[in-house]
Structure 1
Amino acid sequence: MQKIAVSIAICLVGAPCFAGSARYECVRASEPIDVDGKMDEAAWQKAEPIADFIVWWTADWPAKTKTVARLCYDDDYIYGVFDCKDPDLYAKYDKRDGYLWESDAVEFFFQPDAQCTTYYEFEIAPNGAILDARFPRVGAPGGIDTWAKWNCDIEVAVHVAGTL
């Protein structure tokens, strides 16, 4: 069984985080986070795990492979980490803003202000490829190619225990 850990530093200070329709409280990191694709820092153990993922287009089918995500923050960044168990890792794209959802990828969606419709999407493939997009609202015309022109200062590290 392959294992992939992805850690991400995202420049969205103080943004509330949501997992599905439930609210998720990010914990403050008490020590610096090393964006290295591993969960060595104490903050990761203190962060509430996000689990029980579903197959997105079904709304209720549980995912076949185990994934746990955690979020934390400091004065400068929000950090996210996914620990994914996957027996067959596959990355089709290696360029920024490729259609990463067409193969294995993890995704974060942030809506920094519940009163605003703008939201951000971040996808990371097991080979470290990134898609980052800023949408003015759900269903905004123009599609991913329009909204992925926005790029943020994001740092990504992937640790794969196995082969890709």
Structure 2
Amino acid sequence: MNKLFPIILFFIIGGANFVNAQHTIQHVQALQGDPKVYTAKKISQEIEIDGKMEAIWNNAPWSSEFMDIEGVHKTKPKYQTQFKMLWDEANLYIYVKLEEPHIWGTLKQHDAIIYHDNDFEIFIKPKLSSPVYYEIEINALNTVMDLLMPKPYRFGGQAVMHWDTKNIKSAVHVDGTLNNPNDIDSYWAVEMAIPFTSLGNFGGNPTPKVNSYWRINFSRVQWQHDIINQNYIRKKENGKIIEEDNWVWSPIGLINMHYPEKWGFLKFADDDLQSALPVYYNIEKTAWNIHYLQQLYKNKHQYYTADLKLLEGFSSYVEKNLSKYDIQITLSADMKFYHILLKEKGKNYYFTIDSHGNYTTNYE
């Protein structure tokens, strides 16, 4: 192995104690899948948002089909789901088609807990160096719930429910009959225009640059149902509602959408629709794998380690990439806090992460 990590010990007072989801090495293994990439073409005309796929959408390829959130080893979703994306100077456009023989919805209040109906969900993280991300959910009644997450729940984040996606446009088209159990439907489709200004930070131009990337993912929550008095309700077994299916575009590996580092990538393109992971993806993956393994180590020993070779899973998930990076580890005197910097040799890319899940980058 090339030169390893300088170690700096320092004193730190206090610090939050957040619950992390990596309980076993099997959980870490489940998080190893590489994310998907979708390349969206830039267009010059605004799209009419009516839920129908007009000719402009012929410029966009269909995504791969959704699969179970835990990955390909799980049962293939019963119904097909695919999306398309386009963009212009003002908006990100999304069209999704959800195959469904029984289209129903009950929730009509904005910011209701939409996933209590069958729904379609969008997770967007525009700024790679910021933990902030957004979630937008919609049901077949075109009822929207949207929220801002300052950071994932597992790091102490709390949903900001009073945040709204300003000036968002959405429409639902139903090929069938809504809330009618007497026939078999075909699909429901959602079309959205999400203004970049609604997702922008203070100052600066919120419109993405050509060939830049966002983190993004899509989820479909699907419930089993019963029909009682001509109404759809979520099916129960032994008095409890049967757990929902979670079908996603880019699998997480665990049943938890709030792993932004495991979402797919959206590439903003002009004419070239080739898709590839960004060049800095591996440095992120290596840093997060160190973070996951450090959590396992602390769960067992009650403290972190500055010797990465002691981490369970080091040879499988970290070692093969270390020769690419210069690494600096900063460890508190009580060994209950760490900060790691990875810098790619011969390039300017770096990624830092600490034991609370805080991170920084320099490639935006």
TM-score of the superposition, structure 1-length normalised?
A: 0.78
CA distance in 2, matches of 1:55, 1:101: 16
Alignment of 1:51-130 (within 5 A): 51-56=64-69, 58-60=70-72, 61=74, 62-130=76-144
CA distance in 2, matches of 1:137, 1:59: 24
Corresponding residue for residue 61 of structure 2? 48
Query: Tell me, what secondary structure is at the counterpart of 1:163?
Result: coil
Percent identity, please: 26
Alignment of 1:4-19 (within 5 A): none
Larger radius of gyration: 2
Query: Tell me, what secondary structure is at the counterpart of 1:101?
Result: helix
Deviation readout 1:42-71 (Å, 9 max, x if unpaired): 2x2221322321233x33332211111111
CA distance in 2, matches of 1:85, 1:30: 30
Corresponding residue for residue 17 of structure 1? none
CA distance in 1, matches of 2:113, 2:122: 15
Relative to structure 1, the CA distance from residue 93 to residue 132 in structure 2 (aligned partners, 3 Å threshold; closer, same or farther) is same
CA distance in 2, matches of 1:41, 1:114: 33
Task: Give 1:41 shift.
Answer: 3.1
Query: Tell me, what secondary structure is at the counterpart of 2:102?
Result: coil
Task: Give 1:90 shift.
Answer: 2.0
Structure 1, gaps ≥5 residues long: 1-19
The counterpart of 2:52, out of the listed 38, 53, 56, is 38
CA RMSD between the two structures: 1.8
Task: Give 1:128 shift.
Answer: 0.5
Relative to structure 1, the CA distance from residue 92 to residue 141 in structure 2 (aligned partners, 3 Å threshold; closer, same or farther) is farther
CA distance in 1, matches of 2:160, 2:71: 25
Does the CA-based 8 Å contact 1:27-1:46 persist in structure 2? yes
CA distance in 2, matches of 1:147, 1:59: 29
CA distance in 2, matches of 1:97, 1:59: 29
Query: Tell me, what secondary structure is at the counterpart of 2:67?
Result: coil
Larger relative contact order (Cα-Cα within 8 Å, sequence gap ≥ 6): 1
Structure 2, gaps ≥5 residues long: 1-33, 179-364
CA distance in 2, matches of 1:48, 1:111: 22
